[in-house]
A and B are shown apart, each in its own frame.
Chain A
Amino acid sequence: MLETLHPVLVNLRHNKRMARVTELTVNGSRRHVDADPDRPLLSVLRDDLDLTGAKYGCGEGQCAACTVLIDGTPTKSCITKVGAVAGKRIVTIEGLAAEGKLHPVQEAFLEADAMQCGWCTPGMILGAVGLLQHNPHPTEADIVSSMNGHICRCGTYSRVVHAVQMAAAKGGRA
């Protein structure tokens, strides 16, 4: 019977047999979801949890606008299946400013005017937060190589580098 169905329907039936993801730990809270495990994390965050700070830019891991932190590591959520992050700590841009106090990296982006249209900014900030957690005093070359997966089409790259340097100088791991 299955063979006579369109491949999409086969796929749909197949998914129904896999364990669904019912809970995610996002920004310090347990959130109920009901998602096919092979859905992109980005889609679950944006569509199911209305955490739209993570942006779609390409869907193939080329622009990093969808970056979130998974157990502290910057991760492209458009190419990460939600089934792979169940039980892990997910931090989105909405969870970075705890109780309204901006993270030092957010402050540095404001101070350096490191944005234009802002579509890439949440991903850039989370990428920088991850970098500084791992390397609190990056050189300019470290920043460039670590952030090179992020695209800013408006061309604010040098300002982003400056922002990361400022955040590092102020101990941006806070």
Chain B
Amino acid sequence: MNRRDFFAVLGGGVVVMLVDDDVYAQETGGGRGGPRPQQPQNLNAWLHIGETGIVTVYSGKVEVGQNARTSLTQAVAEELHVPIASINMILADTDLTPYDMGTVGSMTTPQMWPVIRRAAAAARETLIDLASQKWVVERSTIQIADGKVTAGSRSAGFGELAHGEKLTRTIPANVALPPADEWKIAGTSLPKVNARDIVTGAHKYTYDMKAPGMLHAKVLHLPSFGAALVSLDSRAAEAIPGVKVVHDGDFVGVTAPDARTAENAVVALKADWKPLVAEASSKDVYAYFKKNSRDPVDSTGLTAYTVAYIAHVPLEPRSALARWDGDQLTVWTGSQRPFGVRSELAQEFHIPEDNVRVIVPDTGSGYGGKHNGEAAYEAARLAKATGKPIKRDWTREEEMTWAYFRPGGLIEVGGKLNPDGTLAEWEMHNYNSGPSALQTPYEVPRKKEQMHQSKSPLRQGSYRGLAGTANHFARESYMDELAHSAGIDPLEFRLKNARNERLRAVIQAAADKFGWQDRKKTPGRGFGISGGFEKGSYVANCAEMSVVNGAVKVVRVVGAFECGAIVNPEHLRNQVEGAIAMGIGGALFEHIDFADNQILTDRLSRYRVPRFADMPRIESVLLDRKDLPSAGAGETPIMGLAPAIGNAIFDATGQRIRSLPMVPNKLPGADSSPPAY
């Protein structure tokens, strides 16, 4: 949206545009040589005060359940002194909101949140300027509270002051903000702002959307990855009334007036295809990672850990609604990267990015699994071919087969201790899964930490915490091994080797809440601890496990977390506890089984995710550091869980499990035997 468009679209009022040259400078651009966006890239917060007094704020972030919509609303209320009900937060609409690289990497809180605060603070100062001019009073006599501007006996709502104005202010990003210990709205547990729409079913997710005259679409998937389509007989499909088949190279899609007919049509397609020879299966993939990596190191003296590929399983599968108006494309889709999807679509259809509008309704979760525009592309392509709006909803089976996975990985670790139990040497190599949190937060004089890129037999990508979970699992499990080899209590061993005060504080807080020193070992019970750091925040977990006749149950988990000044305590608690609940799956049983370029765990009856009955007693300890900037919290709280559980299983049984998942269960249709390495 251009500056003058604001007033055309929204009516008169006051617009504040924040300019920040630093935050996203290296992240902007169309990417991959595609068309460049025409609007300035360094605008990253827009705020409009309308003649009705409604404050409309624009951010390219998306809401996927992490409550960004609520925390950003708090940022506005905090600085602008306006009731929550007067704030309208427009998120993730590429025609309306400033460029944003994506809702990824726990960056909304550390980066977008202060930007929105500054925009709101600048808007507040602009209102004071307006009142000062209109009323001819000194600025210092003017106060703003509860959506009203007051000077002596004079008072006006924001709308009255903005009435008849078409004022645009461009504000530098370095506006001063009050410190956290002076916050009034930020730092409180404002309830989820659109929660009523959720509990009444009124909120329309992408999957729920419809457009007049729209058709439903399905896409033909060949039975295995990398297979080549040799020939297609679509006569039976095309004989079904209302069905259109679009076949262009490797792309085969069908459209029909309803989803069931589209499904029937895709089933009726007869494809001849040639498989690609599979290079690895879930049984041998860890050796494959090392063999296919750059600079693999000699394993002598190192201990190997493995992590399986796992699926995000966002409960709302990928979905898109696409519509062409001439050469203008509008797509609604649940992606974490609306501007990235806009670039993808502009490139695919050879049109300028300005011709593509991507809108992301608040979405049924992502966990790092919705970075791309697969459904958007399929819908847009079939909408172009048919001239009709197209709805493309992925099924669960498609979501679990054709989306991307959290990478599997092989991690090799080694270390040596001084006689006093401090770390003398540390070495850690990650093959394929990723570099996140590969650096140990403990003090070690000599260390070598290396990421080895590899070939992945499966499509892989981002996931909540990225490789942080894998690297924490290997590091914190091996720290436990070292502690036991030296005969030192695992808590004492960590504190002995941790000098960072923030790390020490979370480890101590978790241990205190858990009652680590007073734990009572009984047969079949074990206790484990872990600590860690990533993305500006610190985490520690204590776990109690019950292991009886091979049946493993997480009994109790304490999570201590510190991410600077807390923006919303209740939502932070929800994130920390939710991460623990989700993390149980990857720790104990979630894994992708694949062979012959096929995913065997392709539906929920074949892929176990955590349920009510899997839940331990979960307790969280939140350390509020009002003296530190706020960091994100969506990811790091998941990272320390698996090693705390593994260490507790060792404590209970003497058995060290070095593979994730640790206790894969057997389910029909899936071979769940532990991976061989």
Interface residues of A (CB under 8 A from B): 5-6, 8-9, 11-12, 39, 43, 46-47, 50-60, 62-63, 65, 92-94, 96-97, 102, 106, 109-110, 113, 115-122, 125, 143-145, 147-148, 150-161
Asked if B519 is at the interface of the complex by the 8 Å CB criterion, the answer is: no
Among A52, A97, A154, chain B packs the most CB atoms within 10 A around the CB of: A154
Cα A63 to Cα B236 in complex, Å, equals 34
- Tell me, rounded to whole Å, the shortest Cβ–Cβ distance linking B602 to chain A: 11
Q: Are B208 and A52 in contact (CB under 8 A)?
A: yes
Pairwise interchain contact B604-A62, C-beta atoms closer than 8 A: yes
Would A8 and B236 be within 8 Å (CB), given that A94-B201, A116-B67 are in contact? Answer: yes
Q: Tell me whether chain A's interface is mostly helix, strand or loop, or mixed.
A: loop
Select from chain B the residue with minimum beta-carbon distance to A52: B208
A31 to chain B, nearest CB (A): 16
Min C-beta distance of A49 to chain B, whole Å:
12
B396 and A59 contacting across the interface, CB-CB below 8 Å: yes
> With A and B bound together, what is the CA distance between A169 and B362 in angstroms?
32
Whether B315 contacts A153 by the Cβ 8 Å rule is: yes
Of the candidates B205, B574, B577, B611, which one forms a contact with A119 in the assembled complex, judged by CB atoms under 8 Å apart?
B205
Other contacts beyond A121-B198, A153-B367: 17, CB < 8 A:
A6-B239, A9-B239, A46-B208, A47-B258, A58-B603, A62-B605, A106-B200, A113-B571, A117-B64, A117-B364, A118-B203, A144-B612, A151-B609, A151-B611, A153-B313, A155-B577, A158-B581
Q: Which of B564-619 contact A (CB under 8 A)?
A: 570-571, 574-575, 577-582, 603-605, 609-613, 615, 618
Shortest distance from the beta carbon of A105 to any chain B beta carbon, whole Å: 9
B367-401 Cβ-contact flags toward A at 8 Å (1 or 0): 10000000000000000000000000101110000
- Distance to closest chain B CB from A93 (angstroms): 4
Q: Is the CB of B364 within 8 A of A159?
A: no
Total chain B interface residues with beta-carbon distance under 8 A? 63
Given A117-B316, A158-B577, check contact A109 B604 (CB 8 Å): no
- Determine the residue in chain A with the shortest Cβ distance to B603: A60
Partner of A63, one of B204, B367, B604, B613: B604
- Complex A-B, nearest 8 residue pairs according to Cβ-Cβ distance, in ascending order: A53-B201, A155-B581, A117-B65, A119-B364, A116-B65, A93-B201, A52-B208, A118-B198
B156 CB contacts on chain A under 8 angstroms: none
B residues 107-142 near A (Cβ < 8 Å) are none
Whether B364 lies near A59 (C-beta < 8 A) is: no
Could you tell me the distance between the alpha carbons of A19 and B577 in the complex, rounded to whole angstroms? 50
Give the A-B contact count at a CB cut-off of 8 A. 183
How far, in angstroms, from A119 to B199 measured CA to CA in the complex? 10
**A8, A109, A116, A157: the one within 8 Å of B615 (CB):** A157
Residues of the B chain whose Cβ atoms lie less than 8 Å from the Cβ of A63: 315, 604
| Shortest Cβ distance from A110 into B: residue | B195
Partner of B574 from the list A8, A57, A102, A156 (CB cut-off 8 Å) is A156
Q: Which of B66, B200, B317 contacts A102 (CB 8 A)?
A: B200
Partner of B198, one of A59, A92, A115, A160: A115
Cα(A52)–Cα(B202), bound, Å: 8
Alpha-carbon gap, A65 to B207, bound state (A)? 13
Chain B residues whose CB sits within 8 angstroms of the CB of A150 once the complex forms: 611-612
* Nearest Cβ on chain A to B600's Cβ, whole angstroms: 16
Task: Return the chain B residue nearest A94 by Cβ.
Answer: B201
Per-residue interface assignment for chain B, residues 296 to 313, with 1 indicating a CB less than 8 Å from any chain A CB and 0 otherwise:
000000000000000001
CA distance A144 to B612 in the complex (A): 6
A-B contact pairs, 28 of them (CB 8 A): A8-B240, A9-B268, A53-B202, A55-B205, A56-B393, A62-B603, A62-B604, A94-B201, A97-B200, A113-B195, A113-B574, A115-B195, A115-B198, A115-B199, A116-B65, A117-B362, A118-B65, A118-B195, A121-B199, A122-B198, A152-B315, A153-B313, A153-B314, A153-B582, A156-B574, A156-B581, A157-B612, A159-B574
Q: How far is the CB of A150 from chain B (nearest CB, A)?
A: 7
- Report the stretch among B259-267, B278-286, B323-331, B441-449 that lies at the interface: B259-267
In the complex, B32 has a CB within 8 A of chain A: no
| B-chain residues with CB within 8 Å of residue A157 when the two chains form the complex | 581, 610-612, 615
Q: What residues of A have a CB within 8 angstroms of the CB of B260 in the complex?
A: 39, 43
Specify which chain B residues have a CB less than 8 angstroms from the CB of A143 in the assembled complex. Answer: 612
Check B658 for interface membership: any CB of A closer than 8 A.
no
Q: Mark B196-228, 1 if CB is under 8 A from A, else 0.
A: 101111111101101000000000000000000
**What is the chain A residue whose CB lies nearest that of B574?**
A113
Min CB–CB distance A9 → chain B (angstroms): 7
Residues of B within 8 A of A148 (CB): 611-613
Q: Is B191 an interface residue (CB 8 A)?
A: yes
